[in-house]
Amino acid sequence: MSKNIVVLDYGSGNIRSVQKGLQKVGANVVVSNDFETCLNAQGLIIPGVGAFAACMQGINKYRGSEIVDKRLAGNRFVLGICVGMQVMFENGLEHGVKTAGLHQWPGDVTEIKASILPHMGWNNVQVAIGSKLFKGVETEKFYFVHSFAAKDLDLQGTEKIDAPLKHFATHGEKFLASVENGPLSATQFHPEKSGDAGLQLLSNWLETV
């Protein structure tokens, strides 16, 4: 039985590729912004390209915050991609404008300190031990295109709950390339544009859903 995945459609850039990528690795994919559909899917993808503020505007329009909250409370899987990862943090700070994110994770998204921006192209990820998402593609390069990022995630584990797995990349400075935190995962890079390595990662995520 193929798993049923929904890509949240809130008017952000190229979402066709993520849809096709997931189909390629065996998912049954629907592109939707219907509240119930997004809530009930086995896995939900939050895509995102462009500005943080514009993405949050689109996400809020379709009650994205509520959808993500309810899903995570029910231990249902969510994967944020690119700005879809950034919006999981507290705030986005772009061009002097502070925009509230979905605040699933503490910390702000800020500009990367690098001589050349956007960080555009294929880069390595320092994969933390125990990753399910990167299984088999730990040493591969992934496709990034962004100028902003969360630099770290300060979230401790407890006796009962594992601390999030944090995977970093470097361009000028170190930043978070991906996080695995229970039902909530995210990648700053685009797995749907990262060739075979990216498809493997999507397949790995699908496996966990």
Partner 1 sequence: MTLATRIIPCLDVDDGRVVKGVNFQDLKDAGDSVELAKFYAQNGADELTFLDISASRDNKDTMLEVVKKTADVVFIPLTVGGGIKSVEDVDKLLRAGADKVSINTSAINNPELINQIAQRFGSQVLVISIDARRSNEKHAPSGFEVTTHGGTKSAGLDALAWTKEAVQRGAGEVLLNSMDKDGTKDGFDLELIKLIRPNISVPLIASGGAGKINDFYPAVAAGADALLAASVFHFKEIEIKDLKAELKRKNVEVRD
Contact residues toward partner 1 (CB under 8 A) are 13-14, 16-17, 20-21, 24, 49-51, 54, 115-124, 126, 141, 143, 145-147, 170-171, 190, 192-196, 198-199
Active-site pick, 55, 82, 94, 180 = 82
Query: Is 118 or 157 the residue whose CB approaches partner 1 more closely?
Result: 118
Concerning whether 38 is annotated as a catalytic residue, the answer is: no
CA distance 148 to 109: 6
Token look-up 């000028």 returns 172
Query: Is 76 or 144 the residue whose CB approaches partner 1 more closely?
Result: 144
Concerning whether 190 is annotated as a catalytic residue, the answer is: yes
Residue 194 CB, shortest distance to partner 1, in Å, is 7
CB 28 within 8 A of CB 5: yes
Query: Is 69 or 111 the residue whose CB approaches partner 1 more closely?
Result: 111
Residue 130 CB, shortest distance to partner 1, in Å, is 20
Residue 53 CB, shortest distance to partner 1, in Å, is 11
CA distance 205 to 146: 22
Token look-up 């329009």 returns 61
Could you tell me which of 168, 177, 174 has the C-alpha nearest to residue 198? 177
Query: Is 17 or 40 the residue whose CB approaches partner 1 more closely?
Result: 17
Residue 146 CB, shortest distance to partner 1, in Å, is 7
CA distance 93 to 45: 23
Concerning whether 192 is annotated as a catalytic residue, the answer is: yes
CA distance 188 to 138: 15
Distance of CA 113 to the CA centre of its chain: 21
CB 205 within 8 A of CB 84: no
The residues annotated as belonging to the active site are 82, 190, 192
